[in-house]
Amino acid sequence: MNNSQQLIAALLLILLPVWTGLVQAASTPGSAQPASKTNPHLNEAAKYRIEFDNDLFVGSDNQFSSGWSFQYHSAIASDWERLESPTQQLARFGKRLPGLQNDTLYKRFNLSIGQIIQTPAKLNESKRIKDDVPYAAVIAVQSTWIAYDDETFHGIEVSLGVTGPAALGEPSQNFFHRLLGINEAEGWNNQLNSEPVFNLNYMRKKKFYRGGNSSDLKWDATIDGHAALGTLFTLAALRLETRIGRNMPRGFTYYPDPIGHSMIYDATLSPASPSRPSLYASVTGSAIAMGRNLLLDGTFFRNSQSIDKEPYLFMLNIGFHYETPDWGAHMDWTFTTDTVETASLDAAEDADNAFGTIMIEWKL
């Protein structure tokens, strides 16, 4: 077997148990519900979430181009031993992780599979474009363990995957381009080489302000500290998260994650009036120090195409959220300052990064 075939085989060994667990979750919906609730609210029940990210939502098609993830979130539990999941042993591994043993916090396990794709600006160019971002794709699985309530949040995530042809960036992107009647990308033969990727993420949140009437319009603010270490992203981030709306869920808003940059989680609790829908908006500002970004720095274990990146950036996310007791829909827009140094960038490429995100979730 050549290197690409070996990586594909390894990826299948990683993805198969994850996919099996997600399928089991769908076929046994009652197994993941807390024993104390026969019909829990969406925010506390086991659920699926589909996340789709694309820069076409902001009229672009370069740098971060698209991403998707299919997520499973367990029902909340009072401790790790009571938490139920199709991947039981993996879920209960949370009791061994630092900072997640507080008896007063709810516990939740999240499992996902997803892909991200990056392309340069000139999609009709088949030769390598040296002064632009490289063609790159990553496909990965993520396991996340969180402990939280309405005041505080602790989370740890592990991501395992692969970059290169085994990440299926070319067939994925060109399939959707054909579907939408857009010209196919011609330069995928220049994509980053195949190699495994690994990332470890830690996140801590603290809600420090709240106002309004709990049964009507209310608002809150949260400070968020986040660190990532791995071959995909190495970074440190500080975020200010704000929400305002009617019948908002307790807990914390999810910040869209195109694999490894942030974390995939669900840290919500039922709102003050569980039978009524929730409608709210969120605004999040992030200051990020970027040590490593595989999509710009290239592969970790061998030389590959790269481009000079900006070590610091600011990110703004604006989201609108609608949730019922059984399903929810979310739309987010994300904008950044320059992520690459403009002096080394093709004039056709955007120096910053922007994309939109659609998320749909439903209770099992």
The CA-based angle 35-51-142, given to 5 degrees, is 65
| Distance in angstroms (rounded) separating the CA atoms of residues 90 and 72 | 13
3-state secondary structure labels for all residues of the chain: CCHHHHHHHHHHHHHHHHHHHHHHHHHCHHHHCCCCCCCCCCCCCCEEEEEEEEHHHHCCCCEEEEEEEEEEECCCECCCCCCCCCCHHHHHHHHHCCCCCCCCCEEEEEEEEEEEEEECCCCCCCCCCCCCCCCEEEEEEEEEEEEECCCEEEEEEEEEEEECHHHCHHHHHHHHHHHHCCCCCCCHHHCCCCEEEEEEEEEEEEEEEEEECCCCEEEEEEEEEEEEEECCEEEEEEEEEEEEEECCCEEECCCCCCCCCCCCCCEEECCCCCCCCEEEEEEEEEEEEEEEEHHHHCCCCCCCCCCCECCEEEEEEEEEEEECCCEEEEEEEEEECCCECHHHCCCCCCCCCEEEEEEEEEEC
- Tell me the average pLDDT across 177-201: 88
- Could you tell me which of 33, 39, 42 has the C-alpha nearest to residue 278? 42
State residue 31's pLDDT score: 38
User: Cβ(359)–Cβ(49) under 8 Å?
Assistant: yes
Higher pLDDT, 349 or 342: 342
| Distance in angstroms (rounded) separating the CA atoms of residues 122 and 320 | 32
Q: pLDDT-derived band of residue 347, with 50, 70 and 90 as boundaries?
A: low
- Whether residue 11 is predicted with pLDDT greater than 60 in this model: the reply is no
- Whether residue 222 is predicted with pLDDT greater than 80 in this model: the reply is yes
| Distance in angstroms (rounded) separating the CA atoms of residues 84 and 40 | 14
- Looking at every residue in the chain, the average pLDDT score rounds to 86
- Which pLDDT tens digit goes with each residue over 27-66? 444 433 333 456 899 999 999 999 999 877 776 656 778 8
- Tell me the average pLDDT across 72-83: 94
State residue 6's pLDDT score: 46
The full set of domains in the chain, from first to last, is 3-36+43-363 (2.40.128.140)
| Distance in angstroms (rounded) separating the CA atoms of residues 199 and 260 | 6
Higher pLDDT, 101 or 38: 101
Q: Among 149-153, 215-219, 256-260, where is mean pLDDT lowest?
A: 256-260
- Which pLDDT tens digit goes with each residue over 296-316? 999 998 888 888 899 999 999
- Whether residue 140 is predicted with pLDDT greater than 50 in this model: the reply is yes
| Distance in angstroms (rounded) separating the CA atoms of residues 41 and 263 | 23
Q: pLDDT-derived band of residue 345, with 50, 70 and 90 as boundaries?
A: low
